[in-house]
Structure 1
Amino acid sequence: MTYTPSDTRYDTMSYRRCGKSGLKLPAVSLGLWHNFGDDTPHQVKRDICRTAFDQGITHFDLANNYGPMPGSAELAFGQILREDFTGYRDELIISSKAGYLMWPGPYGQWGSRKYLIASCDQSLKRLGLDYVDIFYSHRFDPDTPMEETMGALDHIVRSGRALYAGISSYNSERTREAAAILRDLGTPCLIHQPSYNMLNRWVERDGLLETLDEEGIAFTPLAQGLLTRKYLSGVPEGSRATQGKSLNPDAVTPEMVKALNGLNDIAQSRGQTLAQMAIAWVLRGGVTTALIGASKPEQVVDCAGAVDNLAFTDDELSRIDELSGEKGLNLWAASSEGV
């Protein structure tokens, strides 16, 4: 059946200016890290993306190694672009990244010019695109001069492979350094994608939020699925925690389950689901967009509904702080610390 986007897709989603650029991003973006690999039926992926676009979600975020297998998420989304989004490319923001292991040998990861440019070319081929809107350095490389990594991003933009450059999981000090180099090259750093949610607040401790000054993008605001109602009774069968997908089941302790139920009570009193409140919490400050994941279309609809209530009382924020805070869930700690 031919897909026709909803005529009301822009009626309820809000769009925020990204840093000091002219680009606006939806308050909620869709990440294709999980559930877009070879282990998910293709029709499910199509349904998720269709639903997202119908909700006004125009930003689709990928990386070279998203899968499993590495590259399969880009291949799947490239097929969806041909099947469902032909004629709508100019309504979409498509981003990809390179930094983690993609192919064997010494040139298949980190931040060298050779790796970043080759990986970008491979991503474009898998997606079937002439360019992506944003291309990121996925992690800081301690063994490659920052000038080389940022110079590669500058070349990728100037060569037309991407419209904007971004970085992901760089700490505050490295972010300032990267932004200064890109500014001198004439290709400003548009965006930063750090991990940030109620259970993982390293960006506050690090001072990254102040450094970004409204140029940030929130990533995994649902804490790998923890900040949903899925784990209110422990670890359910079929969840990420049982599949080895980014969430260690050992993190779902009795204390964590108790805290999640307390947070869920606050969400219910706000007339929100726990996922909606988690997204609203991320968006309450200077963050441009909250990047979600989904395994089914109805989860996308739920998350998009977060924009209906982004205001918090001081009492709510205080109660959230008591129940959440730093829980050691930053999977990107080594990258953000520059180790």
Structure 2
Amino acid sequence: MAFGAPYRRAADDRYQKLGSYRGASGSGLELPAFSFGLWQKFGTDRPYATQREIVLHAFDLGITHFDNANRYGPPPRAAEKFFGTVLRKDLAPYRDELVLSTKAGNPIGPSPYLKGGSRKSLLASLDHSLRDLGTDYVDIFYSHSPDLATPLEETVGALVTAVRSGKARYAGISNYTTERAHEAAELLRGAGVPLLVHQPRYSIFDRRPELDGLLELAAADGFGLVVYSPLAQGLLTDKYLGGTIPPGARARDSAFLSPDAIDDTYRERAAALNEIAGQRGQSLAQLALQWVLRQPQVTSALIGASSTWQLDHNLRALDFPPLSDEELALIDRHGVHGTGSRP
């Protein structure tokens, strides 16, 4: 590789730093235990220099999977454009070492063609994403959410077309119910393009993959899980344990976390979990990350970061001994499904 200007040389020991890569179930593709998501902090409302520093630090730590979507920003597509700039200016020599994913299907504008799971919506969005990212292909292309107004066969057919055209290496789905995920996996398998991964929400406070049979389905149908919000939008950190909502916290300005979630019930449960973590010598965030990664069906946990320190801290979750049966039972007692969720 040539590393003259303008490229920045990545850390030579990056694959030793993380040291944990997992096969995506029936595929030969390995993903890092932690993937980096550009969901909420990589729009035009954040400083480019800070965003760039965090992404490049993630790669230096051995994170190779960067997860995006046409909707991420704000505004929509801003996160893809940001990453495209970093790819062009800094990471171009490493494109073959990166696993880039994007999604389409959630609304990004008023047009009927800027939402949903139709062939037109999905494939046009993929072409737009490739232009914004400045790459010929993405490694994983997701249907971001199920579209009940579009036949599943059409949505799956668009994913198959994306893979067969070479514009995507693998197909994925996100936010699908267990039943619909199974139907999608069957259709993809029949088309010769197996489902690589499903991206659901999963955390100590959101246990739907356990409750609705998704974990068992992933094992049976042979796809991996790339779980998002493992820290429950910050509820599984010590951020809110002091009784107030600190400046800059998501509960102040996020559409996905209400200040009403920071109630006495939440604080009592989070404080108990924090005590379990403290007895293990780790933070609540590290405990929560280790908890989701204990499941063999979880290929990778998606994390974001507002600083390189936060990234370093979260990755140290891999350094602690496995959770014991007694610790898991205690976590179950206090980690009640639905804690902090929106009505």
After TM superposition, the score normalised by the length of structure 1 is: 0.95
Residues of 2 paired with 1:110 and 1:296: CA distance? 34
Q: How does 1:244-323 map to 2 (within 5 A)?
A: 244-286=254-296, 287-309=298-320, 311-323=322-334
Indicate if the aligned counterparts of 2:235 and 2:340 stay in contact, CA closer than 8 A: no
Equivalent residue for 1:57? Answer: 63
Equivalent position of 1:46 in the other structure? 52
Indicate the larger mover: 229-238 or 65-74: 229-238
Q: Partner of 1:197 in structure 2?
A: 203
Q: Is 1:225 aligned with 2:220? A: no
CA distance in 2, matches of 1:44, 1:231: 24
Q: Which runs of 5+ in 1 are unaligned?
A: 334-339
- Check if 1:206 corresponds to 2:212: yes
Aligned to 1:238, the other structure's residue is in SS state coil
Equivalences for 1:1-339 in 2 at 5 Å? 3-13=8-18, 14-213=20-219, 215-233=224-242, 234-286=244-296, 287-309=298-320, 311-327=322-338
Does the aligned pair in 2 maintain the 1:281–1:310 contact within 8 Å? no
- Matches of 2:282 and 2:339, distance apart in 1: 26
| Distance across 2 between alignment mates of 1:164 and 1:270 | 38
Asked if the contact 1:112–1:149 (Cα under 8 Å) also holds between the matched residues in 2, the reply is yes
1:39-93: per-residue Cα shift (whole Å, max 9, x none)? 1100111111011111111100000010000000000000111122120111110
Summarize the Cα distance change of 1:329–1:100 in structure 2 as closer, same or farther, 3 Å threshold.
farther
* Structure 2 residue aligned with 1:337: none
Contact kept, 8 Å, 1:15 with 1:24, in 2: the verdict is yes
1:122-151 Cα shifts (integer Å, max 9, x gaps): 111110110000000001111111100000
Q: Which amino acid counterpart does residue 274 of structure 1 have in structure 2?
A: L
Q: Which runs of 5+ in 2 are unaligned?
A: 1-5
Q: Is the 8 A contact 1:241 1:248 kept in 2?
A: yes
Kindly provide the CA deviation profile for residues 98-122 of structure 1, in whole angstroms up to 9, marking residues without a partner as x: 1111222211111111100000011
Q: Contact 1:28 / 1:303 at 8 angstroms: preserved in 2? A: no
Encode CA deviations 1:209-253: one digit per residue, 9 max, x unaligned. Answer: 100116211111011111112111132121111012421111111
For the Cα contact (< 8 Å) 1:131–1:162, is it kept in 2?
Answer: yes
Classify the secondary structure of the residue corresponding to 1:230: coil
Matched residue SS, 2:17: coil
Identical pairs, percent: 51
Is the contact made by 1:197 and 1:221 (CA closer than 8 Å) also made in structure 2?
yes
Deviation at 1:2, TM superposition (A): 5.6
Distance 2:224 2:135 in 1: 26
Aligned-pair Cα RMSD in Å: 1.5
Report the AA paired with residue 8 of structure 1.
D
* 2-structure distance, mates of 1:282, 1:263: 14
Post-superposition shift, 1:186? 0.8
Higher relative contact order (CA 8 A, sep 6+): 1
In 2, Cα distance between equivalents of 1:282 and 1:75: 30
Q: Distance in 2 between matches of 1:124 and 1:24?
A: 23
What secondary structure does 1:108 align onto? coil
